[in-house]
Amino acid sequence: MKPMETITLFDIPVTNCTLQEAVRLIMDILSGERPALMHFVNAHCINVSRRDPEYRQILQSTDYIFADGIGMKLAARMHGLTLLDNVNGTDLYPPLLDALDGSGRRIFLLGGDPGVAEEMQRQALQNHPDLIFCGAHHGFIPPEENGAVARQITDAQTDLLLIAMGVPRQEKWLARHFTQTGATLAMGVGGLFNFYSGAIPRAPLWMRRTGLEWLHRLLMEPGRMWKRYLIGNLVFLYHALREGIKTRG
């Protein structure tokens, strides 16, 4: 593959590529020998990073960061930049399964409520029978069991580790335990397991295409999501505009 452009948003290096280029990048990494970490950042992630220095440092030192959502697209425009695509985990997952089907790569699912990862695995195998899932574990791990879970991932000879514990917990878990897992590539995927296990329905296609998936999440879980989206989006836009003005002079 040709080298990918990296742009800087909120002092975080973002890999600027299309969804299909991201899939090819993942497959190239899985075919190589150098382990790598990937994360996604959206408006909520940026807000969290502003008050959590550890999480911010993790994002700044991660191998690949992808911009997720309409907020990041708007922030890029305010910086005078153009994002090639909305590279989010939920849209990346279907073409990634297509690429992985029959590849022989071993996938471990870590995260979600008990039983969610196993259901996600069952759903994936219905349309991709040649996928290899080498293990699954829920995301509620007592601190004293983290090492045992990492060894379980190692013993499973994992190539691709998908971890869904929410931000910033999943990123911090990988920062501390990724090398112990022996995986070639790990990706923090947030709510992906809930969507593809059927636990939470995805937004209709028209809402996803118009950048309104956040509104669907708010309507589905108003008690849990109202601060993130109603207040968080305004806070994010304020900082995006402020940094955009500063960057462009």
CB-based burial of residue 59 (10 Å sphere; 0-12 exposed, 13-18 middle, 19+ buried)? buried
> What are the tens digits of pLDDT across the range 67-87?
999 999 999 999 999 999 999
> What are the tens digits of pLDDT across the range 179-193?
999 999 999 999 999
> What are the tens digits of pLDDT across the range 115-140?
999 999 999 999 999 999 999 999 99
pTM listed for this prediction: 0.93
Domain presence at residue 45:
yes
Q: Give the residues of the chain that fall short of pLDDT 70.
A: 1-2, 248-249
Q: How many domains does the chain have?
A: 1
Give me the pLDDT at residue 94, please.
Answer: 96
Give me the pLDDT at residue 1, please.
Answer: 59
Domain presence at residue 198:
yes
Range of the domain at 40: 5-206+220-248
> Tokens at residue 235, please?
């806070």
**Integer CA distances (angstroms), 44 to 51, 70, 169, 226, in order:** 11, 12, 14, 12
Domain presence at residue 75:
yes
Domain presence at residue 215:
no
